[in-house]
Amino acid sequence: MAEAMIRSRNPGSNERGRHGRMRIDTNTGLLEGVRQVGSPNCDERPAGVPVSLLVIHNISLPPGEFGGHWIDALFTNTLDPAAHPYFRTIAGQRVSAHLLIRRDGEVVQYVPFHRRAWHAGRSCFRGRECCNDFSIGIELEGCDELPYEAVQYERLIALTRSLMACYPAIGPGRIVGHSDIAPGRKSDPGPAFDWERYLGALRDGACTG
């Protein structure tokens, strides 16, 4: 794991994300001031396809448990199947997301925004399939039925503002849950996610507390 992690030179940007936008380096597709953990589970987007969709997910490893390095391990293909019975059921999966927001508000980036993360799987948005081609995926550390933390909403709102500014094709109507683009197959971010709190803050231009 240690060799996959690249510590940021400016960790304070995670804190600034509570109140405003977080800066994206458009040359590298990286957020400044967050922990970078490079995932091999990504590739090039199709040529000429703009980023135009934001997909909200949730993840917890093992299910319903928070903390630890297991999400990093999953996204870097280093998850030990012997460490927990559940891990044997997902051994060999090759998945990733662009970002993770942990329960304490830490933001981790696994894939640069200009590259295609493998987060949505079989999916369709308004008749257009293969949502990975044109979307950014953000994982919230959590599960469908447990409330998310206030700081996770704060980070998500700040990140969304930054992404909408950088990728103007992502409008309010193009922010969805995984369940919206893979109905019947996926349920996240689940009923515990407060869409009105999130989208209302984006409309109002205010962060939640």
pLDDT tens, per residue, the chain with 209 residues = 332 333 333 333 344 444 467 999 999 999 999 999 999 999 999 999 999 999 999 999 999 999 999 999 999 999 999 999 999 999 899 999 999 999 999 999 999 999 999 999 999 999 999 999 999 999 999 999 999 999 999 999 999 999 999 999 999 999 999 999 999 999 999 999 999 999 999 998 744 43
Using only C-alpha atoms, the chain has a radius of gyration, in whole angstroms, of 16
What gap in Å lies between CA 177 and CA 190, rounded to an integer? 8
Structure tokens at 202: 């984006």
Tell me the whole-structure pTM to 2 decimals.
Answer: 0.90
Q: Is the bond into 189 cis (omega within 30 degrees of 0)?
A: yes
Judged by DSSP in three states, 42 sits in: strand
Separation in Å, CA 106 to CA 85, 123, 152: 27, 28, 8
Decide if 139 is catalytic.
Answer: yes
User: Which H, E and C letters describe 69-95, residue by residue?
Assistant: CHHHHHHCCCCCHHHCHHHHHCCCCCC
State the catalytic residue, choosing from 3, 15, 106, 139: 139
Q: Give the burial class of 196: count Cβ atoms within 10 A of its Cβ; 0-12 exposed, 13-18 middle, 19 or more buried.
A: exposed
**Relative orientation angle of helices 195-204 and 150-166, to the nearest 10 degrees:** 50
Half-sphere exposure of 19 (CA within 13 A, CB side): 4
Which fold, 2-204? Answer: Lysozyme-like (3.40.80)
